[in-house]
Amino acid sequence: MSRFYAQEAQGPLVPPLLPTLVVLLALVSALALGTGVVPLAALPGAWMAARRDPRRAWFLGFTILVLVIYLLGIARHTLLLNETPKIQERYLFAVAPLLIVATLTVSPLAVSRTAAAIVLTAIVLTLGPLAHHLLPRAMDAPSLAIIWASRRGLGPGLTCLLAAGAAATVLIGAVRARASLLARVAWIAALPLVLNLGWYRLQYRASPLEPVWRTVRDLEQRMGPGQRVTVVVSDTSEAQQYLALYAKFWLDGRSTGYWTGGEPIPWYLDVGGPARDAAARTRADYLAGGSDLQAVCPSAPPVPAVDRKRGQPPMILKVPPGGCGAPPTPPTR
């Protein structure tokens, strides 16, 4: 993981209160939509019903404690590692099963009007007045992505109304299912399924992500045992960040992120320096980057690009056996 999370050990233990509250509100919305709304809204009712059963009460207490710790930890993480707040929903994966189990097994299911109103208000605020600050990238919040995309076409008011209406419909349907566990599961599963299918279509069938993962897959097939690739990044554009991150995660440590834009080095890259030294300093067999990559290693032949039908793919160069020709500058870090 290199430098990915090194900044966690720096910065204030408790971030500023107002940005933390904003991120927490949006995380609650993402957790609610991502788990079908019902589990989070039913948590207070489940706690009230479990007070007579010590074992269930302990489990629900543990669930609430883990939920609070995770939400606070994720909020601090996103505020420390990002210039602007982002809803990194993927970090909620550990608490979602606990939340679902804690409420799904309660019979009869009880959702108070107050709890439902709080959850629906959080969703409306996240998708309404706070959306432009919190949802710049669909990749970070699958449960909010398709709603955010709809917001651009339908407008904030109608989108919030539709989202709140869908959430309320799920709540009513699950409560009316009463003791039917199968019907309750169907109601709860419907909303996350629709939202994540929408996110998949939006995210994996749109530029610039599809050309990036096709390029990384092509690199994986070309690289032999022990060979390495260096992703040369010259700016903080979304396309170059995607390329560096995907190569880092999918090539099993055979990728190095190389920054050529001066200090400070972005958190998702490994090392920085002059562009002409990228291949020599990282002992790369391949270079990957934007359309200006050929200037980094003029003697390297370009690898044929992957399918261009869905956007401009990144450029790949095969570093010749003699290197790029220029002697490397001594590393500074």
Tens digits of residue pLDDT in 60-106: 888 889 999 988 888 888 777 766 666 777 777 788 888 888 877 77
What amino acid occupies position 62?
F
Decide: helix, strand or coil at residue 289: strand
Residue 114 confidence (pLDDT) above 80: yes
Residue 255 confidence (pLDDT) above 50: yes
Residues 8, 77: Cα–Cα separation, whole Å: 7
Q: For 263-289, how does the pLDDT look when each residue is reduced to its tens digit (9 = 90+)?
A: 788 878 888 888 888 888 888 889 888
Q: What is the pLDDT of residue 82?
A: 67
pLDDT bucket at 308, cuts 50 / 70 / 90? low
Phi and psi angles of residue 291, each rounded to the nearest 5 degrees, phi first: -65, -20
Please state the rounded mean pLDDT for residues 97-125: 84
Please state the rounded mean pLDDT for residues 183-207: 78
**Buried b or exposed e, range 84-114, using 16+ CB within 10 angstroms:** ebbbbbebbeebbebbbebbbebeebbbeee
Q: What is the pLDDT of residue 333?
A: 46
Residues 10, 16: Cα–Cα separation, whole Å: 15
Q: What is the pLDDT of residue 208?
A: 59
Residue 2 confidence (pLDDT) above 60: no
Please state the rounded mean pLDDT for residues 247-256: 84
**DSSP for 62-88, written as a single string:** HHHHHHHHHHHHHHHHHHHH-SS----
